[in-house]
Each structure stands twice: as C-alpha cells, then as structure tokens.
Amino acid sequence: MITEKFLSYLTFEKRYSAHTILAYQTDLAQFFIYVEAQYQTVDITAINHFIIRSWVVSLMEAKLNPRSVNRKITVLKTFYKFLLLQGLVSNNPMEKIVAPKTAKRLPVFVDKPKMNKVLDVQHFSDDFLGKRNRLILELFYATGVRLSELCAVTLNQISLDSLQIKVLGKRNKERIIPFNQHLIPLLHDYLQMRKQVTGSLQTEINQLLITDKAKPVTGKQIYHIVRNSLGQHTTLQKRSPHVLRHTFATHLLDNGADINAIKELLGHSSLAATQVYTHNTIEKLKNIHKQAHPRN
C-alpha cells in the first residue's frame, strides 16, 4: 500500500515518466524481497541503515555495476524522503548510506567531419522513407531532443515560420528549441510527401513522424534508423539517438555556446548535468597541448 502511494506521488506530484516509475517500482520490490528474506520483516519502521547497508553490500558482492547500485540508492533516498513527508517514519536511515564511487564516463559523440558524412544527402533515397530518415537525423542533431521527445512531436509543435520546435520533456516540462533555416526545405519536402501518405485517411494523424503505412513511428524504429546510419559512417560502439544529443551539445560548446544556454536547450534541470560536456572540451585541449607544446 505504501509503495502504491509512493508510485502515485512520483506520477502526479513529481511527474516522473512511466519508464522511470517502472524502474523505481522494480528496485523497491527487489529491496523488500531482500529485507524479508534476510531479516523476516517488511516493516519500514524496523528497517535501519544497517539493513540498507547490507543490501548495498550484497549488490556490490554480486558484481552489480556501481552506477546501477547508485541508482537503487537514489530510489531509496527518494522513497524515504516521501515517508518522512508523510510522517510514516521519524528518521531517515539513508543519511548514513554512502554511495560507491563511479568512474566518470565522458559523453560519446560524433566528430564534425563524420557527422557531415552521416547527414550527406546522397546516403538517403529520394522517396518518402529516405526523406523521413534524413529528417530524423537532422532533427536530433539540430535540436538535441531526446528520443521520447521526438517521438511525441506533433504537426502543430513545429513552426517553419518562427523556426522553432516545441517539445514536452521530462516531468512534463515544455521547452521551445530554435533550429536553423537549412531544415526548412527538408521539412517542406517531407511534409509534402507525408500528405500523400496520409491522403486516404479519414482523420489526420497528429504525429510529425510516421511510417509509409501512415502509422506513428515508434521509438524502437527511430533507434534502429539512427543506429544503422551511424554504423555506416562511424566506428562508435554506442550508436543511439542519445549519441546525437551528446553530439549536439558538444559541438555547440566547441563553437563557443554558453553552457547555461545549452542547459536550457537540452532541458536539464541543473547545470551539473550539462557540465559533463565540458570534460570533452578539456580532454581535447589536453591532447592539443600534448601535441603542440615543445616540452611534451
């Protein structure tokens, strides 16, 4: 019952995505299964920091990735903050839990010459699917949107007159992202062909991106389009839409964009999430210094 109230709180108060809520539900269930098996209780008032710490240790002994362990700790921290808010516990055992250290991972991105190859018009067919697939890649690179955001974009959320796209991000936060004029002919051509695909439909389909059968394009389909395109022109192991989001941010930073502006464009809630892109720039400067300085 408490777990259900907590999940409702995440849904309606925190406005977490369905994917995030499912992850929280899974992690909490795993935690309570462990506690009941090891300590024969599911009473939240009886669970102290020793019990929680033993769960964390068991996860690490099972060789679980430290990032995954930290995610589970975050889930419990959020859960206990909720319990305190509801007056269901009098103290927070998570205050004594120390998260394991994790190695910093630099965002994977495509360099500019390879990105130009990925977007080269000659790599795409001149039919509807070719126009659509190129537009998908161009939109990711031009706006830095998330996969879920691009899937949800409707016709009235994109404006050729004002050169901007409106997206609904995490926690239902709306933001407007500008794009360059080079997208106008791509969007115009696609929309013209799109009308031919949807011409026989009795009701208009709202999603911007559709299949040649006039169905909304799914996230899985977009993922494969991006993965295949990046695989043809890069040697990156990671070839997801999120790589294009990283590429968007990294190239903006390299060209002198203010990091606070990049934060707003990406829809980050804190600057700390955006600052990870500065590490790529620092690494690039280190390499330049190493190659160019006479003392190296």
- Which one from 53, 123, 242, 279 is the annotated catalytic residue? 242
Pick the closest to residue 16 from 72, 75, 83 (CA basis). Answer: 75
Is the distance from CB of 192 to CB of 137 less than 8 angstroms? no
How far is it, in rounded angstroms, from Cα 251 to Cα 255?
6
- Which one from 77, 175, 268, 279 is the annotated catalytic residue? 268
Q: Please indicate whether residue 242 is annotated as part of the active site.
A: yes
Q: Please indicate whether residue 77 is annotated as part of the active site.
A: no
Is the distance from CB of 250 to CB of 110 less than 8 angstroms? no
How far is it, in rounded angstroms, from Cα 107 to Cα 161?
33
Is the distance from CB of 234 to CB of 246 less than 8 angstroms? no
The token pair at 105 is: 């991972």
- Which one from 194, 245, 246, 251 is the annotated catalytic residue? 245
Q: Please indicate whether residue 277 is annotated as part of the active site.
A: yes
DSSP 123: G
Is the distance from CB of 268 to CB of 274 less than 8 angstroms? yes
How far is it, in rounded angstroms, from Cα 13 to Cα 273?
22
CA dihedral of 75, 78, 80, 83, whole degrees rounded to 10: -130
- Which one from 77, 166, 170, 279 is the annotated catalytic residue? 170
- Which one from 146, 233, 239, 263 is the annotated catalytic residue? 146
Q: Please indicate whether residue 146 is annotated as part of the active site.
A: yes
Taken in order 69, 70, 76, 79, is the CA torsion positive or negative? negative
CB atoms within 10 A of CB 150: 22
Catalytic residues: 146, 170, 242, 245, 268, 277
